[in-house]
């Protein structure tokens, strides 16, 4: 993200297509098709394969599937958990899987503060209790021009925020990742200004597509994907989806965000996926779906334009990139 052009992934990292199809067939034949599935997901053979490969422990029970879900083929579980950006555990895509292994995401608490009636420090369990978990299959499109399709487990951020009764002064919501260089060894180097920070405008935060995730592929979030709690904003570049959140603050002013702080000319506050606005050092017109050979067109707002374009009506998206 910092300095390199989008990387070309070695062919050895891509699941060979024939192996892939054989595995699919195997899963069909062995009757794993129905494993833990509900509703519309029953029609998606890709789904079963990924679920079959997800870890056995820490599974969620039945999940309601969301009408917002994409029906594209899921990214391999191995890729989604082995090719990550999480600088707290190293800057290489392979680092988080290796270096986040020891990380213990419990006990955990989330501080809620700023312009709201009910600030406080909430135990993760209390923070989560009121919310019914659902499954949302979303594209995640990294600013580096690769993308994945991941079945997240979570709930709308808006529902969580309402509980804390934001006041009329709350124009934005700011998020912070844990700062603990002993547990997050990547923080011992000043590659970014720690803690990692992100922010959304209030209407973006309240939008029904914006979720807090606690799991993926039917199981708890692996550490490298941001356990125990992360943001997922599907129409924005991946870096807006901050991991391992410990603080949520309601603010009157637009909050600082990590990549914008580091390189304001390259990463804007909004960071909406936009094929018409190139990164200064590379095109955003196409993306490579991890696991695919050919690139595909990047869609405006990552394909969620029908739902979110109205949030930006009248804004010059070249200026507010
Ligand atoms: N705290 C924190 N959150 C983060 C990052 C990070 O380095 N630190 N990387 C971001 C980037 S650049 C991307 S593309 C996504 C990747 O999410 P994934 O590893 O679950 O695919 O996480 C985002 N959230
Ligand atoms: Mo990213």
pTM of the model: 0.86
Residue 311 has pLDDT above 90, yes or no: yes
**pLDDT at residue 33, as a whole number:** 33
147 CA distance to ligand 2 middle (Å)? 9
Looking at ligand 1, which residue's alpha carbon is closest to its atom 8? 86
315 CA distance to ligand 2 middle (Å)? 24
Question: Which distant-in-sequence residues (6+ apart) come within 8 Å of 304 by Cβ?
Answer: 209, 234, 235
Looking at ligand 1, which residue's alpha carbon is closest to its atom 4? 242
Q: What is the pLDDT of residues 133-192, one digit of tens each?
A: 999 999 999 999 999 999 999 999 999 999 999 999 999 999 999 999 999 999 999 999
**pLDDT at residue 49, as a whole number:** 46
The values of phi and psi at residue 268, to 5°, are: -85, 175
**pLDDT at residue 295, as a whole number:** 98
Distance CA 283, CA 293 (A): 18
- Atom in ligand 1 nearest the alpha carbon of residue 238: 14
For residue 195, CA distances in Å to 220, 238, 245, 280 come to 23, 17, 10, 26
**pLDDT at residue 58, as a whole number:** 80
User: What tokens does 166 get?
Assistant: 């934001």
**pLDDT at residue 62, as a whole number:** 85
Residue 13 has pLDDT above 70, yes or no: no
Instruction: Give the rounded percent of residues in the chain with a pLDDT score beyond 70.
Output: 82
Q: Is 138 in the pocket of ligand 1 (CB under 6 A)?
A: no
Instruction: Give the pairing of strands 109-114 and 245-251.
Output: parallel
**pLDDT at residue 150, as a whole number:** 97
Q: What is the pLDDT of residues 65-99, one digit of tens each?
A: 899 999 999 999 999 999 999 999 999 999 999 99
Task: Please report which confidence band the pLDDT of residue 53 belongs to, taking 50, 70 and 90 as the band edges.
Answer: low
Nearest to 134, CA basis, from 165, 111, 157, 112: 157
The values of phi and psi at residue 173, to 5°, are: -125, 130
Question: Annotated binding residue at 87?
Answer: yes
Distance CA 148, CA 46 (A): 14
**pLDDT at residue 61, as a whole number:** 87
Average the pLDDT over 296-313 and give the result: 98
CB 243 within 8 A of CB 225: yes
9 CA distance to ligand 2 middle (Å)? 15
Question: Annotated binding residue at 266?
Answer: no
Looking at ligand 1, which residue's alpha carbon is closest to its atom 24? 242
Q: What is the pLDDT of residues 221-246, one digit of tens each?
A: 999 999 999 999 999 999 999 999 99
Average the pLDDT over 35-45 and give the result: 40
CATH number of 6-312: 3.90.420.10
Average the pLDDT over 23-34 and give the result: 34
Q: Is 242 in the pocket of ligand 1 (CB under 6 A)?
A: yes
Residue 12 has pLDDT above 80, yes or no: no
Question: Annotated binding residue at 241?
Answer: yes
Q: Is 154 in the pocket of ligand 1 (CB under 6 A)?
A: no
Q: Is 88 in the pocket of ligand 1 (CB under 6 A)?
A: yes
Domain range list for the chain: 6-312
Q: Tell me the DSSP string of 112-143.
A: EEESBSS-EEEEHHHHHTT---EEEEEEEE-T
Q: What is the pLDDT of residues 117-126, one digit of tens each?
A: 999 999 999 9
Residue 273 has pLDDT above 60, yes or no: yes
Q: Is 152 in the pocket of ligand 1 (CB under 6 A)?
A: no
Residues in the 5 Å CB sphere of ion ligand 2:
85, 142, 238-239
Q: Is 238 in the pocket of ligand 1 (CB under 6 A)?
A: yes
Question: Annotated binding residue at 28?
Answer: no
Which of 7-11, 266-270, 298-302 is predicted least confidently? 7-11
Residue 50 has pLDDT above 70, yes or no: no
**pLDDT at residue 51, as a whole number:** 55
């Amino acid at each position: 993200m910092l300095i390199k052009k989008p990387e070309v992934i070695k062919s050895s990292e891509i699941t060979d297509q024939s192996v892939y199809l054989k595995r699919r067939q195997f899963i069909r034949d062995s009757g794993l098709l129905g494993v833990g599935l509900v509703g519309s997901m029953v029609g998606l053979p890709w789904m079963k394969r990924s679920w079959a490969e997800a870890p056995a422990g820490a599974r969620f029970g039945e999940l309601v599937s969301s009408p917002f879900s994409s029906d594209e083929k899921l990214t391999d579980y191995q890729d989604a958990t082995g090719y990550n950006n999480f600088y707290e555990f190293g800057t290489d895509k392979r680092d988080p899987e290796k270096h986040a292994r020891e990380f213990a995401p419990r006990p955990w608490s989330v501080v809620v503060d700023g312009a709201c009636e009910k600030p406080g420090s909430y135990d993760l369990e209390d923070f989560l209790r009121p919310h019914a978990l659902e499954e949302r299959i979303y594209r995640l499109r990294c600013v580096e021009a690769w993308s994945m399709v991941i079945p997240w487990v979570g709930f709308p951020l808006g529902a969580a925020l309402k509980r804390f009764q934001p006041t009329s002064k709350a124009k934005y919501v700011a998020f912070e990742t844990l700062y603990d260089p002993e547990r997050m060894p990547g923080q011992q180097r000043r590659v970014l200004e720690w803690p990692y920070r992100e922010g959304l405008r209030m209407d973006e935060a309240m939008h029904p597509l914006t979720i807090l995730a606690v799991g993926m592929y039917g199981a708890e979030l692996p550490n490298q994907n941001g356990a125990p709690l992360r943001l997922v904003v599907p129409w924005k570049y991946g870096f807006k989806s901050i991991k391992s959140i410990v603080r949520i603050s309601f603010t009157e002013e637009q909050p600082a965000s990590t990549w914008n702080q580091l390189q304001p000319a390259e990463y804007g506050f909004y960071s909406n996926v936009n094929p018409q606005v190139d990164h200064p050092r590379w095109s955003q017109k196409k993306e490579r779906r991890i696991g695919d050979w050919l690139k595909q067109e990047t869609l405006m707002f990552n394909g969620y334009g029908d739902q979110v374009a109205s949030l930006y009506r009248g804004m010059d998206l070249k200026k507010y990139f």
